[in-house]
């Protein structure tokens, strides 16, 4: 079968003022593409009316492999005039990247580059990045948000996005097909009519719309020349001269030599050199004042009582909003083991009130009925997208278990136990049973249908009664030694949609050490789905991570063995969290409740 060489679409957006910088960026792209490949490149210059002289400058770079098309988007924008504030849209060419997917329906994906970039590697390597439908785009972290506390606080407080998970939109690989499938342009129109972002404008819109659906690129693909660069400049694959790092305005600009290396090989070199000579110290002072005003704007937007996140919260369930505030307070006060939501009033569970083995004919009938009812609930939740399982990773770690194990999982929703139950069923271990440890009040006092499930779905309730707890300990040990799995939430508390692993308590690990069985660490990561629940919050999509079992080091003293096992479990969770969310695990500073 003969394979057709790919044609790679690359987009720039510019006006007459920026056309010469676009020419330098495009020239650097062309110079760094291997000559021994058959692939071709279709360069689209998005504009709303470029002069003939600007078109000529860019057209000079065209060749058989690199075709250049000037795409006047005016007519397309006119068609959108009933949905967009067109005046602003026309004046900001950077907004054009938001319409690429819909305007060019033949493309599954495309590269977008700002004009103030220098490409130092093959752009095909960026284009070949595997973008599944899970991701709307691929991008690198925005260093202004990471390194400048004013901007970082703005995006966390006003947008609800961690400063470490905000991307720069100057170098992006767009998943055009996924954007069309998810009606991205309509969502943008809705958001544009809901709130006007003023700080980074189009970049803020993109980050809000793509939250949790970004494939993070190595920062070298977008080396912003801002603040500190954590690797040698020579390793940069694309240089990005953001804000006041422009070599054509600042003779001492970082990596300016890289820009001039390419600029001097273009027809616009003398014009850009003249611009540098004509750029005065007074103009540079004005640049500094502009940056200072942008910081002040970010501060102002942060302190607005009706900023985007506050306005969004006003449309969401007030009880949930209060829970998020309480989570934030508890995190700042280090009250990790306390629940933020009130448990049902409880009464002590006495030894004669519970059969931990669920033995006997009546108990078996109730258990079967409870599991059948729970199955119907789960099927309905999945069908209605109230519970969304995106992926189960590492299921082999559960399927290959030879004996019993204590399963640990982070606790953030009443449905997370359903998720782990589904993982257990996916493991195919019909020779084992799956039990879950629950609170005393959930067993003794939870009302109605869910109370029936709490008492009959292989649950192992804790108790405030010492003799009952002795019975719990004995029964749990027997069940583990028979090769079953017992789910324990070692954080002790449930915080709604809280994404971070909380400090752990010793109970789960004491069980494992006492019975000399492994701990199977599971950690569920979340991301916003496009489905909005009845509470006004996005339904979370779960990825269940089943890690390798951790075995107690029985050569240690008992207490140290428990602590060691707990520490290793936490490190597993921490690694999953930091890898999946691309966030360092820290407490007390970031907003809680699903912000990531």
Among 90-99, 431-440, 581-590, top mean pLDDT goes to 431-440
Q: How confident is the model at residue 93 (pLDDT cuts 50, 70, 90)?
A: low
- Our separate counts of H helices and E strands in the chain read 24, 17
Report the run of H or E that residue 436 belongs to, with start and end: strand 434-438
Q: What is the mean pLDDT of residues 352-358?
A: 90
Q: Where are the beta strands (DSSP E) in 471-582?
A: 485-488, 519-532, 538-546
> Which two tokens mark 128?
């070949």
Q: What is the mean pLDDT of residues 327-338?
A: 94
pLDDT tens track for 396-444: 999 999 999 999 999 999 889 999 999 999 999 889 999 999 998 888 8
pLDDT at 359 over 90: no
What pLDDT does 88 receive? 57
How far apart (Å, rounded) are the C-alpha atoms in residues 485 and 272? 69
Q: Is domain 357-581 annotated with CATH 3.40.1130.10?
A: yes
Token match 């990045």: residue?
Answer: 129
**How many CB atoms lie under 10 A from the CB of residue 537?**
21
pLDDT at 592 over 80: no
Token match 């189009």: residue?
Answer: 202
What pLDDT does 189 receive? 87
What pLDDT does 83 receive? 66
> Which two tokens mark 189?
């129109």
- Calculate the average pLDDT of the chain: 92
Residues of the chain with CATH 3.40.1130.10: 357-581
Give the Å distances, CA to CA, from 224 to 257, 425, 426, 477, 581: 15, 47, 44, 56, 21
Contact of 483 with 404, CB cutoff 8 Å: yes
How far apart (Å, rounded) are the C-alpha atoms in residues 165 and 307? 19
CA 255 to chain centre: 31
What pLDDT does 284 receive? 95
**How many CB atoms lie under 10 A from the CB of residue 306?**
9
What pLDDT does 527 receive? 95
pLDDT tens track for 241-281: 999 899 999 999 999 999 999 999 999 999 999 999 999 99
Contact of 460 with 475, CB cutoff 8 Å: yes
pLDDT tens track for 42-56: 999 999 889 999 999
What pLDDT does 74 receive? 86
Token match 């007390």: residue?
Answer: 588
Q: Which of 524, 523, 540 is CA-nearest to residue 532?
A: 540
pLDDT tens track for 137-164: 999 999 999 999 999 999 999 999 999 9
pLDDT at 380 over 50: yes
**How many CB atoms lie under 10 A from the CB of residue 553?**
12
How far apart (Å, rounded) are the C-alpha atoms in residues 533 and 540? 9
What pLDDT does 347 receive? 87
Question: 519-532 and 405-408: which strand pairing?
Answer: parallel
Q: 564: burial class by Cβ within 10 Å (0-12, 13-18, 19+)?
A: middle
Residue that wins the pLDDT comparison between 344 and 293: 293
Q: What is the mean pLDDT of residues 537-566?
A: 97
Give the Å distances, CA to CA, from 287 to 202, 247, 585: 21, 14, 36
pLDDT tens track for 53-83: 999 999 999 999 999 999 999 888 877 776 6
Residues 6+ apart with CB under 8 A from 407: 420, 485, 486, 487, 488, 519, 520, 522
What pLDDT does 438 receive? 92
Reduced to 3 states (helix: H, G, I; strand: E, B; else coil), residue 167 is strand
**Is the alpha carbon torsion for 399, 404, 405, 406 positive or negative?**
positive
Q: Which of 221, 253, 217, 247 is CA-nearest to residue 236?
A: 221
Residues of the chain with CATH 3.90.550.10: 7-307
**How many CB atoms lie under 10 A from the CB of residue 39?**
16
Q: What is the mean pLDDT of residues 482-504?
A: 96
Residue 526, beta-bridge partner list: 542
Which CATH topology does 7-307 take? Spore Coat Polysaccharide Biosynthesis Protein SpsA; Chain A (3.90.550)
Reduced to 3 states (helix: H, G, I; strand: E, B; else coil), residue 518 is coil
Q: What is the pTM of this model?
A: 0.89
Q: How confident is the model at residue 595 (pLDDT cuts 50, 70, 90)?
A: very low
Report the run of H or E that residue 87 belongs to, with start and end: helix 86-91
| Sheet (strand 117-119) strand order | 117-119, 238-240, 223-224
Q: What is the mean pLDDT of residues 516-541?
A: 95
What pLDDT does 92 receive? 59
The rounded percent of the chain whose pLDDT value lies above 70 is 95
What pLDDT does 2 receive? 42
Query: Cα dihedral angle (28, 33, 34, 37), rounded to 10 degrees?
Result: -150
The rounded percent of the chain whose pLDDT value lies above 90 is 80
What pLDDT does 193 receive? 85
């Amino acid at each position: 079968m003969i394979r057709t060489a790919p044609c790679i679409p690359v987009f720039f957006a510019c006006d007459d003022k920026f056309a010469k910088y676009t020419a330098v960026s495009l020239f650097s792209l062309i110079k760094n593409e291997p000559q021994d490949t058959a692939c071709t490149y279709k360069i689209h210059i998005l504009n709303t009316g470029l002069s003939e002289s600007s078109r000529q400058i860019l057209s000079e770079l065209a060749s058989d492999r690199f075709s250049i098309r000037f795409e006047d988007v005016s007519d397309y924008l006119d068609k959108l005039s009933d949905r967009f504030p067109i005046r602003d849209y026309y004046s900001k060419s950077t907004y054009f990247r938001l319409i690429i997917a819909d305007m060019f329906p033949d493309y599954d994906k495309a590269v977008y580059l700002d004009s103030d970039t220098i490409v130092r590697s093959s752009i095909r390597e960026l284009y070949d990045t595997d973008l599944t439908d899970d991701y709307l785009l691929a991008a690198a972290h925005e260093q202004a948000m990471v390194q400048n506390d004013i901007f970082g606080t703005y995006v966390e407080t006003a947008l609800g996005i961690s400063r470490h998970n905000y991307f720069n939109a100057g170098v992006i690989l767009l998943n055009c097909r996924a954007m069309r499938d998810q009606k991205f342009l309509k969502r943008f129109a809705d958001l544009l009519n809901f709130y006007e972002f003023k700080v980074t404008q189009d970049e803020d819109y993109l980050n809000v719309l793509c939250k949790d659906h970004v494939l993070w690129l190595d920062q070298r693909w977008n080396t912003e020349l801002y603040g500190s660069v954590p690797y040698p400049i020579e390793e940069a694959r694309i240089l990005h001269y953001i804000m006041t790092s422009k070599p054509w305005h600042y003779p001492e600009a970082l990596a300016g030599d890289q820009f001039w290396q390419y600029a001097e090989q273009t027809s616009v070199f003398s014009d850009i050199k003249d611009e540098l000579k004509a750029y005065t110290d007074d103009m540079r002072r004005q640049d500094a004042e502009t940056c200072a005003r942008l910081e002040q704007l970010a501060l102002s937007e942060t302190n607005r009582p009706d900023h985007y996140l506050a306005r969004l919260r006003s449309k969401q369930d007030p009880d949930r909003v209060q829970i998020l505030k309480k989570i934030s307070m508890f995190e700042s006060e280090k009250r990790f083991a306390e629940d933020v939501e009130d448990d049902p009033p409880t009464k002590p569970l006495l030894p004669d009130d519970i059969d931990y083995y669920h033995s006997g004919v009546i108990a078996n009938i109730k258990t079967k009925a409870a599991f059948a009812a729970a199955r119907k609930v789960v099927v309905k939740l999945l069908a209605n997208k109230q519970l969304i399982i995106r992926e189960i990773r590492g299921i082999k770690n559960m399927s290959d278990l030879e004996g019993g194990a204590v399963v640990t999982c982070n606790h953030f929703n009443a449905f997370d136990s359903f998720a782990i139950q589904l993982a257990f069923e996916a493991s195919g271990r019909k020779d084992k049973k799956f039990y879950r440890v629950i609170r005393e009040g959930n067993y003794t006092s939870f009302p109605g249908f869910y109370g029936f499930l709490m008492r009959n779905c292989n649950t192992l309730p804790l108790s405030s009664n010492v003799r009952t707890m002795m019975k719990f300990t004995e029964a749990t040990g027997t069940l583990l030694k028979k090769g079953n799995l017992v789910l324990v939430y070692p954080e002790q508390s449930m915080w709604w949609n809280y994404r971070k692993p909380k400090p752990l308590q010793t109970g789960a690990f004491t069980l494992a050490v006492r019975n000399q069985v492994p701990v199977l660490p599971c950690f569920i990561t979340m991301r916003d789905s496009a489905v909005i629940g009845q509470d006004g919050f996005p339904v979370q999509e779960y990825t269940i991570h089943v890690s390798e079992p951790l075995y107690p080091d029985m050569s240690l003293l008992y207490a140290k063995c428990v602590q060691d096992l707990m520490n290793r479990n936490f490190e597993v969770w921490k690694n999953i969290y930091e890898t999946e969310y691309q966030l360092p695990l820290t407490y007390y500073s970031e907003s809680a409740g699903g912000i990531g």
